[in-house]
Amino acid sequence: MLNKNGWILPYIKENRRLFIVVIFLSALTIFAAASLMYTSGYLISKAATRPENILMIYVPIVAVRTFGILRSASKYVERLVGHHTILKILSRMRTRLFSNLEPYALNINSMFKTGDILGLLANDIEHLQDIYLKTIFPGIAALFIYFISVIALGFFSVPFALLTAIVSFVLIGVLPLFSLLVEKARTHQIKKEKSHLYENLTDAVIGISDWLFSGRQTSFIKEYSKMDDSLRNIQGKEKRFRRWRDLAAQFVVAILVLMLLYWAGNESLAGEIPKTFIAAFVLVIFPLTEAFIPLSNSLGSVPLYSDSINRLDGIKEVKRVEQIPVLEGNIDDDRQIEFKNVSFHYPESENILNNISFTIEPNKKTALLGPSGSGKSTILKLIEGVEPPTQGSVKLNGIESESFGDHISKVVSVLNQKPYLFDTSVLNNIRLGNPTASDEDVIRVTKMVELHEYIASLPEGYHTSMQETGVRFSGGERQRIALARILLQNTPIVILDEPTVGLDSITERKLLQTIFKVLEGKTVLWITHHLIGAEMADQILFLDKGTIAMNGSHDDLYRHETRYRNLFELDRPFTVIE
């Protein structure tokens, strides 16, 4: 099994054979390029001596062709195998990422900033491929060729091989490490400046009317320009550093060329090597250093990768637990929802719920009221098991809600404010509640929500297209279609998440009467922020600032709670249609 403790090493271990093949092919490409230049240098020098017969340079000619073809072929195969490996890894990474993000789908905005979400979904996984393609593969291949080159040169002269190794190490070790340290500090500075710049711009856009009203738009532009200039200055320093670093690398290459030219010339004068080998030794430097020089830029980019890795590491790994067997049998006997001493807050934020306790009785209709931001949506997430409570317990029939896992959809269904309707037929949209339902079942639940006659009157009846998001139908009709879908789903617990938002008071009351009528016998939790229809509920919970401020029936609260009575009178429409 894949180790889940990282985003780099586990995938290297899992695909180590493919990695070895890619690194071998990468090293073979560098070797072929170096051999091509070596034999080309020898061939040019040998041809300049005007041999008596072309057969005397036939072998170098064949070698040049061979290494030229080998370089192209090995490069192609290396790219093919390398990208196959990376695509395989990216596929696994995406699967793992979405599996970890799935539990946060309902509250992803509270867990991550918008920029972080976009980074996770659009950039981070794709960005990690550069670690393999631009850093790991070429880096290991270059190190391998570096040691092979030093060993090969040692057969001619051990002292000169050691001197060449020291000078070459500037390209393969010193400059890359120096680049890493400098780029790390620079990346932190750029990130900090960009953050300030974006914050300043966002505040300005949101409060643009205040800037204009106060007449301070000129000062804002000056301040913004100053911050932008500061960022550009840091980016300019980064570009200048890279230019000087590349210049230093080319200077080291020039030193190596002069060293080899001097050494090969002396060796030739001493009769240790033929004169035709001088150009061969000098030319071989260029393909080798071409493999070494990019390492500075690759290693300098590591701080950029670290942001992606840190963001991915910040996602809590999901532990898949065994599902509870025979859930439906347990829950049908008793449909109670129990909150006991529940508190909840997101990381680095204040409590949204503060030690609340209440019980939603089986087969009863409970209205959860409260102003916006009081914690009603959080209670919904806790019941669905999307979030575990920070303290206390949330239980459905004595079982922790988060333990239901994927089976929660067999126990709890939700009628949202704006249920999504797909661009397909009415029949298919309703059947989403139970894909195995027959056409007769669909018609039965449609009659229950009092929409059958209208749908039947349409030119194509139940095969009428909903169009995108159900724009063909009114708000109330869309909610009735979603309600029919829930009836097909047939869960013992139904949560109504402000299903009448945006409807006029008459349509709202009619829809609520239909909802409560067809859901008779189920445990219903109705989440709302106003009190129209509250008298239809068996129990009312009034949530305010994370605590249960009032709890009781409508009649009791109306008689004994002045605040509730005032709110109810304010919310009640002037004309009530029964």
Give me the CATH number covering residue 382. Answer: 3.40.50.300
User: Does one domain contain both 448 and 484?
Assistant: yes
| 24 and 116 fall within a common domain | yes
As a whole number of angstroms, the distance between CA 455 and CA 461 comes to 5
Could you tell me the pLDDT band of residue 577, with boundaries at 50, 70 and 90?
very low
- Alpha-carbon distance of 378 to 548, in angstroms, equals 14
What are the pLDDT digits (tens) for 493-510?
888 888 877 777 777 778
Together in a domain, 397 and 432: no
CA 257 to chain centre: 47
Residue 197 lies in a domain: no
Whether 503 and 478 share a structural domain: no
320 in a domain, yes or no?
A: no
Nearest to 497 by CA among 510, 489, 486: 486
Among 462, 490, 518, residue at a domain's last position: 490
pLDDT winner (highest mean) among 37-41, 104-108, 504-508: 37-41
Task: Evaluate whether residue 341 is within a structural domain.
Answer: yes
Query: Is 271 found in the same domain as 163?
Result: yes
Query: Is the pLDDT assigned to residue 88 strictly greater than 70?
Result: yes
pLDDT of residue 323 exceeding 60: no
Q: Are residues 474 and 499 in the same domain?
A: no
345 and 394 fall within a common domain? yes
Mean pLDDT in residue range 72-89: 91
Mean pLDDT of the chain: 81
Question: Does 224 map to a domain?
Answer: no
Give the pLDDT band of residue 410 (cuts 50, 70, 90).
confident
C-beta separation of 312 from 7 below 8 A: yes
Distance, in Å, from the CA atom of 312 to the CA atom of 119, rounded to the nearest integer, reads 10
**In which domain, by residue range, is 106 found?**
9-181+244-313
Q: How confident is the model at residue 333 (pLDDT cuts 50, 70, 90)?
A: very low
pLDDT above 90 as % of the chain: 15
519 shares a domain with 375:
yes
Q: What is the mean pLDDT of residues 358-380?
A: 85
Report the pLDDT value the prediction gives residue 513, as an integer from 0 to 100: 84
Q: Lowest-confidence range among 323-332, 481-490, 514-523?
A: 323-332
In a domain, 192, yes or no: no
Model confidence band, residue 104 (pLDDT cutoffs 50, 70, 90) = low
pLDDT tens by residue, 182-223: 888 887 777 777 767 766 666 666 666 666 666 666 777 777
Tell me the average pLDDT across 398-424: 81
Integer angstrom CA distances of residue 509 from 368, 500, 501, 532: 17, 9, 12, 7
Strand-pair category, 391-396 with 337-344: antiparallel
221 domain residue, yes or no: no
| pTM of this prediction exceeds 0.75 | no
pLDDT for 65 equals 93
pLDDT at position 375 over 50 = yes
Are 548 and 451 in the same domain? no
Query: Binning pLDDT at 50, 70 and 90, where does residue 419 land?
Result: confident
**Residues 398 and 427 reside in one and the same domain:** no
Q: Which pLDDT does position 326 carry in this prediction?
A: 42
* Sign (positive or negative) of CA dihedral 570, 571, 574, 578: negative
Let me know whether 542 and 480 are in one domain. no
**Confidence at residue 90, expressed as pLDDT on a 0 to 100 scale:** 84
Q: List pLDDT tens digits, range 213-243.
A: 666 667 777 777 888 888 888 888 888 888 9
pLDDT per position as a tens digit, 421-465: 887 888 888 888 888 888 888 888 888 888 888 888 888 888 888
Domain count across the chain:
3
Task: Give 310-345 as a 3 state SS string.
Answer: HHHHCCCCCCCCCCCCCHHHHHHHCCCEEEEEEEEC
Q: Which of 461, 490, 519 is the last residue of a domain?
A: 490
For position 29, what pLDDT does the model report? 93
Give a yes or no: residue 4 inside a domain: no
Kindly state the average pLDDT of the residues 145-160: 91
pLDDT given at position 423: 79
- Is 163 in the same domain as 252? yes
Residue 213 belongs to a domain: no
Which of 280, 313, 346 is where one domain is finished?
313
User: Given a cut of 70, is residue 17 above it in pLDDT?
Assistant: yes
Two structure tokens written together for 311:
């963001």
